[in-house]
Amino acid sequence: MAIVKRGGRTKNKTQQQAPAKSGIKKAEFDLHKSKEVGVSDLTLLSKITDEAINDNLHKRFMNGTIYTYIGHVLISVNPFQDLGIYGPETLSKYRGRNRLEVPPHVFAIAESMYYNLKSYNENQCVIISGESGAGKTEAAKQIMQYIANVSVDSGNAEISKIKDMVLATNPLLESFGCAKTLRNNNSSRHGKYLEIQFSESNHQPIAAHITNYLLEKQRVVSQITNERNFHIFYQFTKHCPTQYQQQFGIQGPETYVYTSSAKCINVDGIDDSKDLDETLSAMKIIGLTELEQNNIFRMIASILWIGNVSFVEDESGNAAIRDDSVTQFVAYLLEVNPEILKKAIVERVIETTHGMRRGSTYHVPLNIVQATSVRDALAKGIYNNLFEWIVERVNVSLKGASQSSKTIGILDIYGFEIFEHNSFEQICINYVNEKLQQIFIQLTLKAEQDEYVKEQIKWTPIDYFNNKVVCDLIEATRPQPGLFAALNDSIKTAHADSDAADQVFAQRLSMVGASNRHFEDRKGKFIIKHYAGDVTYEVAGMTDKNKDALLRDLVELLSTSANPFVNQVLFPPSLLASITDSKKRPETASDKIKRSANDLVGTLSKCQPSYIRTIKPNQTKRPKEYENQQVLHQIKYLGLKENVRIRRAGFAFRTTFEKFVQRFYLLSPATGYAGDYIWRGDDISAVKEILKSCFIPATEYQLGTTKVFIKTPETLFGLEDMRDKYWHNMAARIQRAWRRYVKRKEDAARTIQSAWRIKKHGNQFEQLRDYGNGLVQGRKERRRMSMLGSRAFMGDYLGCSDTSGYGRFIVTQTGINEKVVFSGRGEILLSKFGRSSKRLPRIFVVTRTTIFIIAEVLIEKRLQLQSEFKIPISGLNYVALSHLQDNWVALSLHSPTPSTPDVFISLDFKTEFVTHLKKINPGLTINIGTTVQYQKKPGKFHTVKFISGNSSDVPEYGDVYKSGTVTVKPGLPSSSRNPKRPRGKSGKVDYSKYYNRGVKKSFPVPSARPTAASQPSYKSPVEQSYQPQVLAYQTPRPEEAKPVQRKAPPPAPVVQNQPQRQPQAIEPVRPVKKTAPSPPVRKTAPPPPPPPPALSAPAKPKFPTYKAMYDYDGSVAGSIPLVKDVVYYVESINGKWGLVKTLDESKEGWSPIDYLSQCEPPSSLFGAANPPSRPVAPSQPKVQSRESTVASAAVSSSTPASTVSNGSLSNGLAEALRAKKTEETTLAGSLADALKKRQGATRDDSDDEDDDDDDW
């Protein structure tokens, strides 16, 4: 659902007509636009099945798109390769954007959490779930990276320090808590919940805290084949710093049993050397001192050497140390007595008690198996306590000042595991995943439906599997004890003997799952039907692993260490006291994991959750490999289908009425004004008013008892977008008013400055014209058009400097990136092999460095421009012109031995063209003479002669080129100068375009009021009250005009780049009024009116009057357009041109004298000469054709409308017909002359023969 514009803001737009048919091709589809594969949100699937979900994920995965949504839940498929989608560019793309504006990504989830934290002031968390190797750790790292980048102010050193430490926890904890497994090269072997605390004032990170869950310490002493120990052991042994090699005796990983027994030392894609550098760097960033780092690596070395302690049987069959040097070196590292160490490993101290009295103490020797178990227990205990201390030490560094804060939590925990042999570690890991699945069900499925019922929202219930029954099977204590309770009871019953405890546990299993259909008891094994699948667990060794306590002998040994880091930090006295206290049962591993899991659930329940469900596409960790059955199994146990169904039927957003009004009251004028809340009613009525003002349909929301429910996220994002733009729009109003005010001031100042500069210094374009005229003064005849007072050197006639139009098209097509100083159209004389020279049209563009000669060509019916010549202005030797008024210019390009020919061109603005070249290159030579010499071919000069002639074959404003000779008519004397520029009309700046946007202006046709001279000396009351309707006639466009039956005299040469003439309106004709019905005639006629006064002699006109015989478009600069049958003044005649003025002297310009015929002054110039007549009754005006309009105009000019009556109508019609016939006779008589002149203007250059064309 899209948010529509608020009422009262629409604009009335006129209906646009369909565009006329043109040569523009139909728009083509952009094939390079990226196409989405599948659907980005599974709720958009047409069919909701597990197979349809799998098919969609498969398509996107093979396309390199690993992220997909289910509403606000992100589905991630591990690509097992670097797709390059986490760089700075991608991060900035998601910053400040809502989920639907960008493709699915883990950054979108992180942005949503941070936005909700700022906007709604609520704690946030992200729960990342999936099986081992599905990409949970990578997703957690990217979320941390994104939040750290978008929330930190780089100018605050303290905040930046917190950010760096938070990011440094990743490489540090990965080294000590992750390992290579069969399913994942970087598998998390512990759970981690990172809480980043943000200040409520500026929402920047101020502290952080890490909670650790269930480290897999068994991996320290044993791994299955092709797996590795924790990363830190390989990093330290392969690339140990120099200071530790001698001190701790570090050798390669193949030397130690704990790192080589699984036969996997090197892993593709893992650089242990680089990872060690990152680990050491992380330690420094977090603030670990050098002493603390030394102690950490001392403990790592101790564990490695403890693993190399081996045993042999003595004479009694008991275990004995094979090599005492190894135990002595271990004692050196732990700083304990070597003999005490040896006894603690091969002997066990047992104390007996008799009631409350202390009994005897026995030293029981151990066999090899038992001694090996004690040795491994020592190594596991040291590493487990070391890891917990590192986490606590990191929390000390991340702890900030105590202040009010909100948090974002990131949960990265081991995924669901199913191995061939599953023991106590797997049941703990899978139990935690069951708890997370339970949270997902409670917070997304069950809680959502329960809330709909509570709020009385219309809802269709959907069935789902609630895994609480499985969680109770493992953790419950009553009424039916679970597995953890059975394990603890077994240990309590048979504490001393592990095998006996296992047997007791196996017997209790029949009681645990007697009535639970998700449990099956097998001999020595049992099966739990988890949400992710059935897992078979082995009973052997479970009770011993559940004890999770070091032997008292080992704790007492470590408490004797001389190293405070060992006896005070890792194994403090409180630990020994808890072990020796027989009154309290020690906490088991199952107790710890149960307590941690419940604490985690409580923490997550207090946050607004986000979900990332990770999927592993294959078991081989290969990119682009997608196993359908494996993914389909994950889709089923993750419950994606049920999640899609819930999302399709539910609501995307809900909040209380109060919070909704607080957030969005600005969007309604009834609830908010200028940022203040003005609503007087209750919250629910305010919510209704806001939704109504935003035009949200009732189908997009529902109102509950305390909350408002928004159905789709698009609606919510639309509301948020409108809210974000509210203050922007308010500021924009003020800015527009201020800019309008400043614009008026600047325009006024600019107008005054421009007028003052012209007044003081003159017009720069006219000054450039005067400079150019001086270059040819007294040397070259001039054209009449060049000598007009209004002529100025404007330069860019094609508009190449404009932002749009044909000039911009020229610049874009030819790649001109310099400032254009001159552009125009002309011709170039080209000579081809074996053919005569030919004049071809070209476009000429001059920049500050180069002359571009451009050809227009049609390629596949498309106009394209090709740069034919690029001539450096600095390389010109000279330019050559003739002494006559022709337009030819020769450009000498090179030295006397060139490799390319010179250029011989013709263009109307040749003086301006040469002027710009001279301005750019002051040293340029301008040769003017009776001949022009240029190199037509490389190294061969060609001379063009110029002669003056008045024959009819030479056009009035052109020339004839033939056989190396140019013939042109005589021009104005070479000493001619431009007169002063005629004064134009005053005008003013129109500011309405800055604030009346989108309003179409109408330009009414101005009424043509008769002049005072044409008014009669008196008016009757009827005439004064009558206002005739004016019918203005506009000349039709060229494509609409009807063909003329006769040819007109040849027009003057038209410059190609001159603007088209505007249609001129013929003087309006007053329509003839219909005679009103006459009243009954009395028998006695009234007396006749008095005779009119004597006519006075008409005044002599100011200038001779001429009537236009033909239409003339006036396209030549300085000319005036003519309209046929309209009378004009002719002030002076210069050759074939006359200086023409309109009768009201408002316009003047040059026009061909052949287009005019001298006539008598029109009667409209002498108002007093025509006698007044009785008024005629008004009539309805009729639409007139052009011929009838012209005819009526001729009649009205000779006979006033007042003389037309019923008696004289026939006489007026007869005179009009005679005038029409006379006009046609006159035009027919001049037809022959017109044809002759037209033929004289026709050039046939293709028949010209060049005098040196046959030298080949």
Active site residues per annotation: 132-133, 137, 184, 187-188, 415, 417
For strand 73-77 and strand 608-615, is the pairing parallel, antiparallel, or unpaired?
parallel
Closest alpha carbon to 812 in 858, 865, 872, 868: 865
Burial class (CB in 10 A: 0-12, 13-18, 19+), 806: middle
| CA–CA dist 299, 567 (Å, integer) | 13
For strand 820-830 and strand 838-847, is the pairing parallel, antiparallel, or unpaired?
antiparallel
720 is in an annotated binding site: no
Buried b (16+ CB within 10 A) or exposed e, 124-155: bbbbbbbbbbbbbbbbbbbbbbbbbbbbbeee
310 is in an annotated binding site: no
514 is written with which tokens?
A: 């007697």
839 is written with which tokens?
A: 């004049």
| Residue listed under structure tokens 């020690």 | 586
1229 is in an annotated binding site: no
612 is written with which tokens?
A: 């990332």
Cα dist from 1070 to 1123, 1192, 1202, whole Å? 19, 9, 11
Q: Find out whether 945 and 930 touch, Cβ atoms under 8 Å.
A: yes
| CA–CA dist 733, 697 (Å, integer) | 29
Asked if residue 479 has a cis previous peptide bond (ω within 30° of 0), the answer is yes
The per-residue DSSP string of 1103-1151 comes to: S-EEEESS-B---STTB--B-TT-EEEEEEEETTEEEEE-TTSS-EEEE
674: left (phi over 0), alpha (psi -120 to 50) or beta: left
Torsion of CA 622, 623, 629, 631, to 10 degrees: 120
Closest alpha carbon to 218 in 483, 433, 422: 422
| CA–CA dist 1157, 1151 (Å, integer) | 12
Q: Find out whether 1020 and 1060 touch, Cβ atoms under 8 Å.
A: no
Which long-range CB contacts under 8 A does 494-502 form with residues at least 24 apart?
494/543, 498/541, 498/543, 498/544, 501/543, 501/544, 502/539, 502/540, 502/541, 502/542, 502/543, 502/544
Q: Find out whether 104 and 77 touch, Cβ atoms under 8 Å.
A: no
Closest alpha carbon to 431 in 601, 288, 284: 601
| CA–CA dist 504, 590 (Å, integer) | 17
501 is in an annotated binding site: no
Q: Find out whether 1158 and 1098 touch, Cβ atoms under 8 Å.
A: no
810 is written with which tokens?
A: 């020229």
1005: left (phi over 0), alpha (psi -120 to 50) or beta: beta
| CA–CA dist 1121, 1100 (Å, integer) | 26
The per-residue DSSP string of 810-821 comes to: HHHHHT--S-EE
Closest alpha carbon to 192 in 205, 177, 207, 181: 177
Describe the chain by its helix, strand, coil percentages, rounded to 5: 40, 20, 40
| Residue listed under structure tokens 């242990």 | 272
Element (H, E) at 890: strand 888-892
130 is in an annotated binding site: yes
Cα dist from 1069 to 86, 335, 996, 1129, 1171, whole Å? 78, 123, 36, 21, 19
41: Cβ–Cβ under 8 A, 6 or more apart, which residues? 68, 69, 70, 71, 104
For strand 707-710 and strand 850-859, is the pairing parallel, antiparallel, or unpaired?
unpaired
137 is in an annotated binding site: yes
Element (H, E) at 526: strand 525-530
Binding residues: 130-137
Binding residues for ATP: 130-137
